[in-house]
Structures are given as C-alpha cells and as structure tokens.
Amino acid sequence: MNVRVTSLLTFEDCPRRFFAENILGLKVPSAAADIGTAIHTVAERWYKEGKNFPGFKKAAEDEIKKFPDTLNIENVIEIAGLAKKFISVYGEGGFDYQVIPEIRLQIPVGRHTVSGQMDALFMPLFPGMPAKIVDLKTGRNRAVTKQLAIYAFLVVKSFGGIHDVLTRYEWVRLNEKDEYHYSEKHLIEIELWINQQVKQIDKALRKGEEGFTCNPGHVCAYCGYAQQCPATSGDYNPPVEDSIEDLAELPTSPELLTSEMAEKYASRLLALQGKVKQIENVLKIWTEKHGPLVIGDQAMGKFEKASQRQFDVKKVIERCQERGLNPLEYITLSSTAAKKLERKIDLEGCYTEKPSPPTWSIKKVETVGLESTVNTVKETVEILAEDEKAVPEQPTVSSLVKDFGVFLKGVEAPQEALENVRVAYRCSESGKYDETFWDALMSAVAWQGLQNEKAQEIAYMIQQIENVAQAG
Ligand code: SF4
C-alpha cells in the first residue's frame, strides 16, 4: 500500500479515520480542501505553462468547474489572489537553487511505500548547501505537525549528498511563516516514527476494520466520517488497551517475562518515546515564545551553553613534543573528524576495526550488526603531522573576500567592482559586517558581462562569505 504523508498523520490522530479515508475511500466534500487544491493547481499551471498560461482569473475559473459541489464563481477572486501569493515563493531559488514545484517523492518502508507531494522543493546547485522545502498553507490553524520533518526525510532519502534541509510553512492567508531546520541527526527520529506508524498500519490491515481503532477527541470536530463513526454514535466498545500503569506490573524478574509480554512492553516503550518527543517539540516551541519553564528544581527552555574549548591539534602536538611527550598517546580523532578527513584523503590502511561491546539501544532493523567504529587515532595523527595541508586553515571573512577580489581580477572585472571589493575587505579586516560591507560586496557582483558559470562561482563565494560572517 502507498501511504501518503498526510494519511500517516491522520493514522496517528485516529486510525479509524485513516481507514475511512484510505481503505473505504470515503471523501467528504470540503470547500476549504477544494480551494486549497485549486490554488495549488493554478500556481503549478503558471509555472509549467509559461506563455500559454491563460491568466490567474481564467485558470481559477477552470478550477472551480472541477468542484461543482463545493466551489462557485464567488471563489474565483480568492483562488486567483492566493495563487499569485504562492508563485512569489518560486522565485526564491535565486541562481544557487533549482526550484521544483509540486514534486512527489516516494520511498519504500517495509512492504509498503510512503509518499509526499511538496509545494516547492529547492535543490542546491552547489555542494554542501541545504535543500529547502516550502509548504504553502491556505488554512488558518497554525498547527504543528510532523509533515515538514517527513518531507525533509523523503528528500534526504531520495537525493544523494543532501544532509540538511531547511523547511518552511508559508501561511498565505495569515502572512506568517514557521521555519524548521532538519539535519540527518534529527531525521533518525522521524525515520523511527515512520517505521513504527507503517508497522502499525500493516498490523491493522491484517485485522481488517477492527484493527483500526477509533480515537475520539478534538479531531472528531473536523472528521467527515463522524456521522458513520461508531465512536460518535455510542456503539463503539474500544479494545481494552493496556494502560501505562500496567508497566508497574512488570514482573520483577526478567525470567518471568514471556516473549509475548516482552513484545508488548517494547511496543509500549516505543509509543511512549514517540509521545515524549511530541511533548518535547511542543514545549520547545512554547518556551521559544514564552521563555523558560520552571518545574520544581528543574528548568526547561533555551539556555546559553558553557563555551567549549576547541583545540588546535598542530599546536598541541608541538607542545607535547616540546615537553618530550608522545602526542599519539593523548590525541584522539573523533569519528566525525575522521569522516570529514576521509572526504579529502583515502584512510584505507590507516585504521583497524575494533568490535564495540554490545550496548542496549534502539536501532533501525536493517542497521543492526552493520555498524563499525573507525579507529584511526594514531595513524591519522601521523598523517596530520606529516601533511599540514590535510588540515586547511579555517577561512576568515577577510581571507574569503580577498580570494573573491583575486577571482574578480582574474575575470577582468571593472575597476569599480574591484574598488568595491577593497571597501568590503577593509570592513572585514576590522570585523565590521555592516551595511557598508554588504553593499560594497553586492555592488562588486553587480556588473554585466559575466558568463553563467562564472556567475555560479561568484554565488558560491558570496555564500561562503555569508556563512563564515554569520558563524562569526
Ligand atoms: S469521528 Fe472521531 S473517532 Fe470517529 S473516525 Fe472520526 S476522528 Fe476518529
């Protein structure tokens, strides 16, 4: 079965509603949903049809004909207006992103697939940059869901070389936006959640309708299945679920635990972890807006972190050598640094693989037994000491601006552009990345006569300057 991202979220809210919509194929007429679909289609047509696009009003008129039960001529202005707002997003790619509107991605999960359709995906044209997803919302309920995290996961899984995804909900009626950044590390959690949901759907499918339990609550108010739903008619006897308190009845000795009970507790543990994560996410957003929460002697919120010492490995090696100590006995290489180094040089033969003692953890099924720890400590320190080029100096804003100036000179930029780079360089040397700095830098770029590939190189250099300036 293919499960759409929105259906995964429906299943989490109420499995019976998922059953009604996805298995029975029940579709309840909804003007709000049809307006949303019409807006998306008009915006997509504008992008794809180019010169043949008949205009927003005409395209909106075409769309309302597809929904005669819910939409009429009075909806045309609204659909055309919001579609115009949508298309402004497509222009955000600039020249360092390729915009792909209405892209559908699908990945296998167990014996099923999960798919999602994104309103706009921005794929970076330069390595190391994050992908971007924008989801345009026409509703007014700014609810927090996992939708963007799942989309980010689909992008990382579907395209090689993407490790970070910047996502955004654009609330077109409210003129508001909510932004979230997902790295591969965050997406491990969402992958676990997806696997768990699909597993539960699979289990329910094997049982038939009874497998899809009703979960009456505030969601019933928006459920088109409410009139037929046994939970709202009083005929429904929910299956007796083990409550959290049952955990207190865990046998005191593991020998008394049957495999059936162990499985039950394991699935309860995963469900509780999912709930904990959900609560954490909501509290993160709440505390961002309202400040820290203090419960007893505990506080939660965003706090300054103690500064961390970043060692200069070369200096540490020199200092050890001055004192007659063997640096190889003290310096270790983290697996992250080893991975970074491996992108530059081949470390084959520089490490031995030591089996790690088994520790209790929750892992993806397919990764169990496949992980290894790269132990590259001594050998890599030797390489670092021998080959200074292996650890490049961290670029500074002024070194990058200087490189940029040299580049512009090489492509025979006009004097005016070079003068602007000099202004930016002087600002960067004094650590001032203010308006004068950015104006000068951008003016240096704004001259005619660049070939396309040079423009891309310039975009990449400006991006690097921006990154380092922001990090500083
Ligand atoms: S009415 Fe409520 S309990 Fe019934 S299917 Fe809809 S959301 Fe679920």
pLDDT tens track for 82-130: 888 888 887 776 677 888 888 899 999 988 999 999 988 999 888 788 9
In the predicted model, is pLDDT for residue 413 greater than 70?
A: yes
* Residue 254 belongs to a domain: no
Dig out the tokens for 291 from the structure. Answer: 């400040």
pLDDT value for 5: 93
Q: Greater confidence, 184 or 374? A: 184
For the question of whether the overall pTM of this predicted structure is more than 0.85, the answer is: no
* 6 within ligand 1 shell (Cβ under 6 A): no
As for how many domains the chain has, the answer is 3
How far is CA 311 from each of CA 43, 315, 383, 434, rounded to the nearest angstrom?
52, 8, 17, 30
Nearest CA to ligand 1 atom 3: 216
In a domain, 329, yes or no: yes
Taking the CA of residue 229 as reference, the ligand 1 atom at the shortest distance is 4
Q: Is 225 in the pocket of ligand 1 (CB under 6 A)?
A: yes
Confidence of residue 391 (pLDDT cuts 50, 70, 90): very low
Query: What would you report as the CA-atom Rg of the chain, rounded to the nearest whole angstrom?
Result: 28
Rounded CA-CA distance 300/291 in Å is 9
Residue 444 and residue 345 share a domain: no
The pLDDT score that the predictor gives to residue 122 is 92
Which residues contact residue 338 at a Cβ distance below 8 angstroms, ignoring those fewer than 6 apart? Answer: 347, 351, 374, 376, 380
Q: Could you tell me if residue 233 is inside a domain? A: no
Q: Of 48-52, 94-98, 116-120, 446-450, which range is least confident? A: 446-450
Q: In this structure, is residue 459 part of a structural domain?
A: yes
Instruction: Let me know whether 384 and 413 are in one domain.
Output: no
**Amino acid (1-letter code) at residue 250:** L
- CB of 219 sitting under 6 A from ligand 1: yes
378 and 404 housed in the same domain: no
Instruction: Look at strands 112-124 and 97-109 and give their pairing.
Output: antiparallel
Instruction: Mark whether 383 and 436 lie in a shared domain.
Output: no
**Atom number of ligand 1 nearest to Cα 225:** 6
Domain termination site, one of 344, 370, 390: 390
Q: Ligand 1 pocket: which of 13, 22, 232 to mutate (most atoms <8 Å of CB)? A: 232
- State the distance from the centre of ligand 1 to the C-alpha of 12, rounded, in angstroms: 12
The answer to whether residues 252 and 52 touch, using CB atoms and an 8 Å cutoff, is no
Q: Is the CB of 214 under 6 A from ligand 1?
A: yes
Write down which residue in 369, 390, 411 finishes a domain.
390
CA angle 159, 165, 167 (to 5 degrees): 125
Ligand 1 mean position, distance from CA 20 (Å): 9
C-beta 467 within 6 A of ligand 1: no
β-pairing verdict for 176-183 and 131-137: unpaired
Judge whether 403 lies within some domain: yes
The length of the chain in residues reads 472
- pLDDT the model gives residue 197: 92
Answer yes or no: are the C-beta atoms of 86 and 172 closer than 8 Å.
yes
Residue 40 Cα to ligand 1 middle (Å):
28
412, pLDDT greater than 60: yes
Q: In whole angstroms, what is the distance from residue 181 CA to residue 168 CA?
A: 9
Q: What is the mean pLDDT of residues 279-288?
A: 74
Report the candidate in 194, 142, 149 with the shortest Cα–Cα distance to residue 173: 142
When pLDDT is cut at 50, 70 and 90, the band that residue 379 belongs to is very low
Domain that holds residue 414: 397-471
CB of residue 232 inside a 6 A radius of ligand 1 = yes
- Name which residue sits closest to atom 7 of ligand 1, judged by CA: 220
Q: Is 212 close to ligand 1, i.e. is its CB under 6 Å away?
A: no
- Tell me, in angstroms, the distance from the centre of ligand 1 to residue 220's CA: 5
What are the residues facing 469 on neighbouring strands?
none
Do 65 and 7 lie in a common domain?
Answer: yes
Judge if 7 and 77 occupy the same domain: yes
Average the pLDDT over each of 13-17, 140-144, 343-347 and give the range with the smallest value: 140-144
Looking at the structure, do residues 410 and 435 belong to the same domain, yes or no?
yes
The answer to whether residues 14 and 109 belong to one domain is yes
Q: Is the pLDDT of residue 225 over 90?
A: no
Query: How many A from CA of 162 to the centre of ligand 1?
Result: 38
- Regarding whether 407 and 384 lie in a shared domain, the answer is no
Element (H, E) at 421: helix 415-429
Residue 157 is assigned to a structural domain of this protein: no
Higher-confidence position of 280 and 252: 280
Same domain, 327 and 444: no
Contact, 76 vs 57, CB < 8 A? yes
The first and second tokens of residue 196, run together, are: 């768990």
AA identity, residue 245: E
User: How many Å apart are CA 290 and CA 368, to the nearest integer?
Assistant: 41
- Cβ atoms of 413 and 449 within 8 Å: the answer is no
Q: Which two tokens stand for residue 269?
A: 């543990």
Picking from 135, 157, 185, the residue at the C-terminal end of a domain is 135
pLDDT band at 150 (very low <50, low <70, confident <90, very high): very high
Q: Is residue 261 part of a domain?
A: no
Can you name the residues that pair with 116 across neighbouring β-strands?
105
| 119 lies in some domain | yes
- The answer on 464 and 421 residing in a single domain is yes
Nearest-atom number in ligand 1 for the CA of 214 is 3
Residues 370 and 414 reside in one and the same domain: no
Q: Compute the distance from residue 226 Cα to the ligand 1 centre, in Å.
A: 5
Listed residue (115, 154, 105) closest to 8, CA to CA: 115
Atom of ligand 1 nearest to the CA of 14: 8
Q: Look at phi and psi of residue 394 and say left if phi exceeds 0, alpha if psi is from -120 to 50, else beta.
A: beta
Residue 140 Cα to ligand 1 midpoint, Å, equals: 22
